[in-house]
Structure formats: C-alpha cells, structure tokens
Amino acid sequence: MENKLKLVVVGAGFGGMSIISSINQWAIRENLEITLVEPDEWHHYRNCWIKNSILEPGKISKSIHIADLIPSDSVNWLNEPAAQFHPEQSYLLTINGTRVNYDILVIATGLKPKWKLIDGIHGKLGRNFITTAFNFSSLDWNRKFFNEIEKGKVLFTISGGGSNGTIPSKEIVLLANDLFKQKNIRDNLRISYYDGNQSMFPNTKISESLSSIFNAEQIEQRVSTTLLKVFPKSKEAVFYDAFQDKEYSENYDLLHIVPKMSPPKAIIESQLSDKNGFLAVDKTTLKHKNFDNIFGIGDITNIPCVKNLSAIRAQLPTILGNIGALITGLGDFKEFNGEHSFSLHSAPLRRSNYRLKFLELSESKVWPSITTNTILGYIIAEKTNIKNYRSSFVKSKANKLEPSKIK
C-alpha cells in the first residue's frame, strides 16, 4: 500500500459512488489506494421518495447498505464524517480526529436539510397534517396524510437557496394533484405552492413553463415567500414575503415542507467554500479553484446546474478525465460544457423534459412517459436490485468515455 497514490472520496451519494465505481474499472486501479469517508451506513436512493410518499410504495429499494456497494477488499471505508479540511497539507480530519492524508481528494458531500430554521416543527413532522417527502422516516406519514385529506387547503412550501429540492418540490405538487383528481376530490381542495426563491426556477424560460403547468392545474403560486414558523395546533403557518418585506400567517389543512438545504458545516467552515458555503470549483474542469488536487461533484459544488442525477452523470466524464490526467500526466484537462437535463412528471402518462446548458440555455419538450425509472438509463428490478444499482454507476454512458483511455 505504501507507494500507492491515495485517492480519498468524501461522501457516498450518487456522486461519490459513481467516482469510486468508475475508478474501480480503470487499468491503473491497482496503483491507487481508495478511501471513502462516509458517516452514514446507508446510501439513499432519493429518486423514488417523492413518488413513494404519495402513491403505494414501489419495488425500488430506498436505501442500500454502503457495504453492499463497495468492495471491502479494495476500498477503505471510514464510517465518520469529515470535520476539517487542511488543503495546504493535503489531509483531512474526521470528527474523531482521525487524520486522512490524500494525494487527490474528491468532495461529494451533498447538502443537508436545515429543519431548525423553521420554528415550531421540531417533533411535529408526521403529526397534525405537517409532512415532508424530504425525510426518509416521514415517507409513510406523508402517504397517509395525502391519502386521508378530502377537503380544505393543501399548502406546499420550499425555502430558497441552492437545493436539490427545486424539481422534486414541484413534482410532489403535481403527483398530489393527480391523486386528488383520481379520487374525485380535487374540487374540494385548494392547492397552493409557496417558493422562497424569486422565481419557480433560475432560468426564466423554464420558470414560465413550470408556472404554466401549475396554472393549467389551478395551483396557486407565490414566490419570494418563505416559511418561518408553524403553529401545529391551530394549523397556522407564518411566512415572510420578501416582496412586501412583511410577515403574514395563513391557515392550512395539510402542510408539505421542503426546508432550506445547506452544505455541511465542515465545508462551510473550510477554505474550500465560496461565499455561500458551497464547494468552489471551476465550472468547466470541476477542479477546486485554489487547490489542483481537489475535485468536486454533485450537489455540493457551486456549478450553475440543477442539483440532480443528470447533472452528476454529465459531470462524470470531465472529473474522471481530469483525475486521470492528474494521475498519469497524460492528456489535456477535459472541459464540462454544462449540458444536463431534468424531467418533471405531471399527469400519469406525461412528462416534461428540460435540457439545459448550465442554467442558461434551455429547450423543453413534452414526451410520453416510458417509465419513471428509465430517466437516467438504468432500470432497477426488485430481485437484482443491488447488483443492478451498483453497476448503474459504472454503466452510465458518461463512464465509457475516459477511464478506458488511461492506461
């Protein structure tokens, strides 16, 4: 192990696991010592959370044990969070003070929900018709409430800022709307969607498209409106309206909350973050702005992309190519052109597909849905679930491009 190059990956979400899984296929793999730093024992497949929290639970496993995803004989797994980064000396410290030296570091910590920013909901999620699909343990309660409500006001909220909930927060509104229509109770319900951001989406064209989908379904929308406080007993929610610079309260019968998402403290407090706390990487090379041996992928980066799996898949060839170039000294650094996409499912058999180049250029289409799980080109079947999921990291088109060229 002594002379091997040390590659450390922080975070075992889709970003971190895709990196490990791809590099495990490289011809130069045997020259590398790979360490994963991940505090959770479970890798969460969140893509099915929204659908499963409204409709019957599907056959897709929502979480897979990390040990089932990484080969224990070749990847070290430190089951603790990274707590401090020392990029000038190329090491990090875990929360227990374990020092992890690296030659190359990949940061893929994702974002964390900040429930504490909303007063009054501690211990209340899953009670008094306050719910979320953004919390693993709330999924069954969520489904219960959406299937129990028959009349009144359903209020959906999302707090502002960089979030992986930008699209799922809208998808759940449309799925609930479909459910109410199927149950013939839609006319008894008023549905509202309050967004803490200045618009439904950072790109104007897409924002207008999303807004028109909501208008067609008679879903009221407000922007720059942030949930501050909840009074569960009186079913009252207090919002801050940034346009009018004032607080106001509103009653609800069912409240669905998407909280603010934030980078982990260890990143915010490090020299690696930008002014908003996100990992400061070059948007074309995915290399850290100041440290040549640090890369970032996924939600934690400050790249102007939607925070979703498509963006991660699109970023993979670049980051892998650039790690390969750094290790071998061969080849030029690759550039990410920002192309990625997202899908939004509305009525049962339709979905809107949006393509973006960073958050700037866009085109959108509405195609008939094939199945939800083909979105990123991998299908997860019940029986071969884990095996297929593990190889999905490797099979994604992106991975074919770079590693095989690096000998």
Q: Which stretch binds ligand FAD (CB under 6 A): 4-12, 209-217, 220-228, 356-364?
A: 4-12
> Helix crossing, 309-328 with 14-23: angle to 10°?
40
Among residues 178, 282, 299, 402, the one that binds ligand FAD under rule CB under 6 A: 299
Residues touching ligand FAD: how many (CB under 6 A)?
35
Contacts of 380 (CB under 8 A, 6+ apart): 45, 60, 61, 373, 388, 389, 392
> Does 162 help bind ligand FAD (rule: CB under 6 A)?
no
Which range binds ligand FAD by CB under 6 A, 105-113, 174-182, 210-218, 396-404? Answer: 105-113
Contact window for ligand FAD (CB under 6 A) among 12-20, 136-144, 234-242, 276-284: 12-20
- Choice between 133 and 327, CB closer to ligand FAD: 133
- Give the Cα-Cα-Cα angle 237, 239, 244 (nearest 5 degrees): 150
Among 7, 12, 23, 70, binds ligand FAD (CB under 6 A): 12
Is residue 41 within 8 A of residue 65, CB to CB? The reply is yes
Whole-Å CA distances, 162 to 20, 194, 244? 26, 16, 23
Spatial separation of the C-alpha atoms in residues 128 and 143, rounded to whole Å: 14
Cβ-contact 178, 195 below 8 angstroms? no
CB distance 225 to 194 below 8 Å: yes
Using the rule CB under 6 A, is 320 a contact of ligand FAD? Answer: no
**With respect to ligand FAD, which residue has the nearer C-beta, 37 or 235?**
37
Distance separating alpha carbons of residues 251 and 347, to the nearest angstrom:
28
The reply on whether position 38 binds ligand FAD by CB under 6 A is: yes
Told to check if 37 binds ligand FAD by CB under 6 A, we report yes
Sole window of 32-40, 180-188, 191-199, 316-324 interacting with ligand FAD (rule: CB under 6 A): 32-40
Beta bridge partners of residue 243, listed in sequence order: none
272 near ligand FAD, judged by CB under 6 A = no
Q: Which is nearer to ligand FAD, 105 or 237 (CB)?
A: 105
Q: Which helix (H) or strand (E) holds 318?
A: helix 309-328
Contact 24, 323 (CB under 8 A): no
Minimum distance of ligand FAD from residue 16's CB (angstroms): 6
Where on the chain is the footprint of ligand FAD (CB under 6 A)? 10-16, 37-40, 46-47, 49-50, 81-82, 108-110, 133-134, 164-165, 168, 264, 266, 298-300, 307-310, 312
